[in-house]
Chain A
Amino acid sequence: GEEVAQTPKHLVRGEGQKAKLYCAPIKGHSYVFWYQQVLKNEFKFLISFQNENVFDETGMPKERFSAKCLPNSPCSLEIQATKLEDSAVYFCASSQMAGGQNIQYFGAGTRLSVL
């Protein structure tokens, strides 16, 4: 597609429940990034993929968070046993990384509310 598609737009979970977010990158883009946006516009990098391989996971919490990008499927970010502090907007971005230029195009985000 011509834009990064994220689903669902809004996800409500009780504390301790699992949450799974999906991202379809722009067709032809080989890099996918996940960011978490909390209050005051603070963006936190979580993980990036080059095709189906993890490229950089330095921002991923060691426990409860996992992510995948499998061939012919949307990428996913899964949070096991959600906590109140996981409430945030999760953005996915994709990049073609052509000619060394890392222009990242963002989806509309998934708002996760943990109650």
Chain B
Amino acid sequence: EDQVTQSPEALRLQEGESSSLNCSYTVSGLRGLFWYRQDPGKGPEFLFTLYSAGEEKEKERLKATLTKKESFLHITAPKPEDSATYLCAVQAPGANNLFFGTGTRLTVIP
């Protein structure tokens, strides 16, 4: 069965303290791995999509990487405005819907 597991469930960082969020998946023939950011009371906001092992993408303080079993979202020198829940999702073969993990709730303390 396809599974997406995110860790940690929650993470508290001091402003400027870099860290990484993990998303491990068990999908054969991955068609795409997606990172979203969700703020309270809002819908998920698209951040990155990765398609093949070794691929990396960057946007401001965020960098996403992909291996054959997991993806990391690296946050460099985070700011309080980076506080949100970060969701990982995969697209399995033969499907167009996304299968989501339960997210990592990030809090950045000033």
Query: A residues within 8 Å of B by Cβ?
Result: 4, 6, 31, 33, 35, 40-43, 45, 48, 55-56, 59, 91, 93, 95, 97, 101-109
Contact = CB atoms under 8 A, between A and B. Distances in A.
Contact of A103 (B34, B85, B87): B34
A56 B95 contact: yes
B45 interface: yes
Given A48-B97, A56-B97, A104-B98, A41 B103 contact: yes
Contact of B45 (A31, A43, A106): A106
Nearest to A107: B43
A56 B91 CA distance: 14
Contacts of B45: 106
Interface string B30-73: 01101010100111111001000000000000000000000000
23 contacts: A4-B43, A6-B43, A31-B96, A33-B98, A35-B97, A41-B38, A41-B85, A42-B102, A43-B89, A48-B97, A56-B97, A59-B97, A91-B44, A95-B96, A102-B31, A102-B96, A103-B49, A104-B34, A104-B46, A104-B98, A106-B45, A107-B43, A109-B43
Contact of A33 (B38, B41, B97): B97
B87 A41 contact: yes
B46 A105 contact: yes
B63 to A, nearest CB: 18
Contacts of A102: 31-32, 91, 96, 98
- Give me the 4 closest cross-chain CB pairs, A-B, nearest first: A106-B43, A43-B100, A45-B97, A41-B103
A106 B44 contact: yes
A93 B97 CA distance: 10
Contacts of B103: 41
Nearest to B32: A102
Contacts of A93: 43
Nearest to B103: A41
B31 to A, nearest CB: 8
Nearest to B44: A106
